[in-house]
Amino acid sequence: MSWFSQHGHALMRAFRQLAGTPVTSLLSIIVFGIVLSLPAGIFVLLENLSEVSGRATDSQQMTLMLDTTARQADVELINTRLEALTTIEGFRFVSKEVALDELKQENGMAEVMHNLGQNPLPDAFVINPGRLPANEIEKMQAMMQSWPKVAHVLVDTDWARKLDAILDVGRLVVMMLAAVFGTALIIVMFNTIRLQLLTRRDEIELSKWIGATDGYIRRPFLYFGALQGLLGAALAWLLLYFMIIRLNEVLAELARLYDTTITLHHLSWRDSLALLLLSGALGWIGARGSVARHLAQIDQESSVS
């Protein structure tokens, strides 16, 4: 019998096992789905927060304000230095005259600016740092602050640091929950396969007596465990899908009040595939451990007798 036919036969036997014990199999699948949906749901939330963080970082700006005594040569020198920075996405120069005109357009500011007599605003460069991390932006801020004729470099990175710290903690929580729940799912599958083995003990002993290898006996149970894991992951995916749909309906109402848009996105196809493979692997591991223990007990009892 070829390798493909052996595995195809084992897979068909696994499907028959699922159909033969519908209640037990369904309960195991539901347990897998519910347990997987919690860490997967937190992961989806973190991914959406990361996307929001990325958009906010893209819109973040640095303002380099020159000393009021800066001359045109100083402006050109700073412009040259900014052009040499490959880490930033772009910048623009805002002269003191342009800044004053923009300020005069604000409600109630035209008369105030007129009464001042002279322009109190400095020349400035507005810089777009892109998606640089907060620590890199702070290093850049300190470097620019040391340039000649630079009075202030304004940027707020505290919110970015706080958000990054929250996301790091969230990722750690997801990893810990995945480890704990993964262990629990392996134990659930171990006991599920154990019950299957106990009901088919006579069949297994007869198979071994007529020369069946451990691999032949073990293979259908491994596919059985992997199939239950895959179906559990599919159930978790569907639960998250419908929860996200419902949450987006509620968030749409909330966003309308603030004249904005808030939309949660589901798992990407890569993350969905990873969820399926991980759950299938957990079912396979639990089944393999249970079968190995059971076969070892049979071999031990046979050697004693």
- Residue of 296 and 56 predicted with greater confidence: 296
Q: Residue 283 in contact with residue 225, Cβ under 8 Å?
A: yes
d(CA 114, CA 105): 12
In this predicted structure, the answer to whether residue 67 has a pLDDT above a threshold of 60 is yes
Indicate the fold that domain 61-154 takes in CATH: Alpha-Beta Plaits (3.30.70)
pLDDT at 110 over 60: no
pLDDT at residue 124 tops 70: yes
- pLDDT of 295 reads 80
* pLDDT reported for residue 118: 62
Q: With 90 as the cut, is the pLDDT of residue 97 above it? A: no
Instruction: State how far the Cα of 186 lies from the Cα of 155, in Å rounded to an integer.
Output: 49
pLDDT above 90 as % of the chain: 14
- The pTM for the full model equals 0.69
Mean pLDDT score, 280-304? 83
Q: How many CB atoms lie within 10 A of CB 206?
A: 11
At residue 278, the pLDDT reads: 92
Give the angle subtended at the CA of 247 by the CAs of 241 and 251, to the nearest 5°. Answer: 140
Q: How far apart are CA 206 and CA 226, in angstroms?
A: 25
Q: State the Cα torsion 100-57-156-174 to the nearest 10°.
A: 160
Strand pairing report for 90-94 and 124-128: antiparallel
Is a pLDDT exceeding 70 seen at residue 302?
Answer: no
pLDDT for position 102: 65
Confidence (pLDDT) at 262: 75
pLDDT at residue 88 is higher than 70: yes
What pLDDT is stored for residue 241 in this prediction?
93
| Ranges for all domains in the chain classified under CATH 3.30.70.3040 | 61-154
| Residue 84 structure tokens | 């040499």
Q: What would the two tokens of residue 74 be?
A: 């100083």
pLDDT surpasses 80 at 179: yes
pLDDT in the model for residue 214? 75
SS (HEC) of the chain: CCHHHHHHHHHHHHHHHHHHCHHHHHHHHHHHHHHHHHHHHHHHHHHHHHHHHHHHHHCCCEEEEECCCCCHHHHHHHHHHHHCCCCCCEEEEECHHHHHHHHHCCCCHHHHHHHHCCCCCCCEEEEECCCCCHHHHHHHHHHHHCCCCEEEEECCCHHHHHHHHHHHHHHHHHHHHHHHHHHHHHHHHHHHHHHHHHHCHHHHHHHHHCCCCHHHHHHHHHHHHHHHHHHHHHHHHHHHHHHHHHHHHHHHHHHHHCCCCCCCCCCCHHHHHHHHHHHHHHHHHHHHHHHHHHHHHHHHHHHHC
Residues 148-175 pLDDT 10s: 888 888 886 666 677 777 888 888 888 8
pLDDT single digits (tens) 242-262? 999 998 888 888 778 777 777
pLDDT at res. 231: 94
Mean pLDDT of all residues belonging to the chain: 81
Contact 291, 236 (CB under 8 A): no
At 235, the pLDDT band (50, 70, 90 cuts) reads very high
Residue 240 vs residue 211, higher pLDDT? 240
pLDDT of residue 21: 80
The confidence score (pLDDT) of residue 57 equals: 55
12-37 per-position pLDDT tens digit: 888 888 887 888 888 888 988 998 99
